[in-house]
Amino acid sequence: MLKNSKQVIAVDLDEVLFPFVKPFFEEHFNPKFGTNYIEDDIFTYELENVVGKTREEVISEIDIFYKSGALERILPFNNAAEIIDFLRIKYALHAVTARPDFIREETQQSLQMHFPKNSFQAIHFTNQYHGGSEIREKVDICKLIGAIAIVEDSYRNAIQCADSGMKAFLLKKPWSEYKVTGKESPNLFPINNLREILKHL
Ligand SMILES: [Mg+2]
């Protein structure tokens, strides 16, 4: 087998390539509980701290949402396929997601459906919220695959990768905390959209 000499970039899925918070609240949570949450309300990705439920309850609602076929319905952000198509020419892309192992198949299918064929060399699942299988840190996966950069919307994952010497592109979202922590790194690049990555690579 030919050794792949391209530099590796890790790409998060939820809120980087696909929306999650918006469809989860609009399609599932709000109608079920009679609430009105919008993206701007989500000041942390630890949703239990936003909605006044336990972590177990939130995870159970996310499971129900997944099992309703959500991943078949959720479309990627507008320019995501275009940027991935561009990046994959020069870089080996690995999807690194906090999603649980049990939606591996649906995840593979939606990437195949919406992105150019073989855009991603592999998909790594960290099970960070759901457990069930081995829980891993994204930074550890990034080290393992030799990533030079990661694209993320989680400040926690991004700063861990930045502190380990990778470039971390942090999409600014209401929950990204990029403004409030005061902790910065020369490797951390807050971005407004995926296209801005190209300026910093
Ligand atoms: Mg994400």
What is the number of other CB atoms lying within 10 angstroms of the CB of residue 15? Answer: 21
Residue at token pair 């902790």: 183
**Residue 14 CA, ligand 1 centroid: distance in Å:** 4
Q: What is the dihedral of CA 158, 173, 98, 166, to 10 degrees?
A: -20
Find where tokens 């809120």 sit: 15
pLDDT tens digit sequence for 69-110: 999 999 999 999 999 999 999 999 999 999 988 899 999 999
| Total of domains in the chain | 2
Rounded CA gap, 199 and 163, in Å? 21
169 CA to centre of ligand 1 in angstroms: 12
Residue 162 included in any domain: yes
Listed in sequence order, the residues at least 6 apart from 179 whose beta carbon sits closer than 8 Å to its beta carbon are none
Q: Which of 73, 91, 106 is the last residue of a domain?
A: 73
Q: Same domain for 88 and 38?
A: no
Average pLDDT, the chain: 92
Taking the CB of residue 64, how many other CB atoms lie within 10 A of it? 13
pLDDT band at 1 (very low <50, low <70, confident <90, very high): very low
In a domain, 2, yes or no: no
Which residue type occupies 179? Answer: K
Q: Are residues 57 and 86 in the same domain?
A: no
Expressed in angstroms and rounded, the spacing between residue 2 Cα and the centre of ligand 1 is 31
The mean per-residue pLDDT over the stretch 108-126 comes to 95
Q: Give the span between the Cα atoms of 193 and 177, in whole angstroms.
A: 16
Question: Closest Cα to residue 151, out of 66, 87, 72, 62?
Answer: 87
pLDDT digits (tens, 9 = 90+) for 139-180: 999 999 999 999 999 998 999 999 999 999 999 999 886 555
- Mean pLDDT within 52-58: 94
Residue ranges making up the domain that contains 37: 21-73
Structural domain contains residue 123: yes
- Domain check: are 59 and 100 in the same one? no
- The answer to whether residues 99 and 31 belong to one domain is no
pTM of structure = 0.93
Q: Six-digit token pair at 147? A: 């990533």
β 147-152/91-97 pair status: unpaired
Instruction: Give the distance (Å) from ligand 1 centre to CA of residue 1.
Output: 32
Give me ligand 1 centre to Cα 154, in Å.
6
167 with 183, same domain?
A: yes
For a pLDDT cut of 90, what percent of the chain falls above it?
Answer: 79
Asked if 63 and 81 sit in the same domain, the reply is no
The kind and range of the H/E element at 123 are: strand 120-125
The CATH number of the domain where 114 resides is what?
Answer: 3.40.50.1000
Q: Check whether residue 91 and residue 168 sit in a common domain.
A: yes
Centre of ligand 1 to C-alpha 98, Å, is 7
